[in-house]
Structure 1
Amino acid sequence: MSYIEKRNFSEVLAICRLEPKMRNIIVEGITDKLVVERFLKKEHKTGISIMNVDMICFDDEYKEMSDEEVKVLKESNKEKVIYLASKVESISSNCRLLGIIDKDFDMIQNKVRKGRYLAYTDYNSMELYLFKEEYITEIIGNIYRISSNIDVNALMLSIGKVCRFLFFLHSYLIPFNGRMVDFCKSFSYDKHTNECKLDMEKYLSKILQNNKLSDKAKIISDKLRSQLNVSAVDVRLEMRGHDFISVLYHALYKHKRISMSEEDFANSTWLCLDSKLLEVEPLFQRVLAL
Structure 2
Amino acid sequence: MRFLLRPGWIALTLAVVAFAFACAYLLAPWQFHRSDERDGTNAALQRAVTTAPVPRGRLVPPGTEPAADIAWRQVTVTGTYRPEGEVLVRLRSIEGSPATEVMTPLATTTGETVLVDRGYVRSGDTGGLPPIAPAPGGTVTLTGYQRLDEGAPDRPAIVADGHRQVYAADAPTIAAAGGVAVSPGYVQLLPNQPGVLTAVPLPPPDPNPSYSYAWQWLIFGLMAIGAWIYFARLEWRRAHGLEPHRERDDQDPRDAADGTPWDARTSTEAKLADRYGRR
The TM-score with structure 1 as length reference comes to: 0.23
Q: TM-score, with normalisation over the residues of structure 2?
A: 0.23
More helix by share: 1
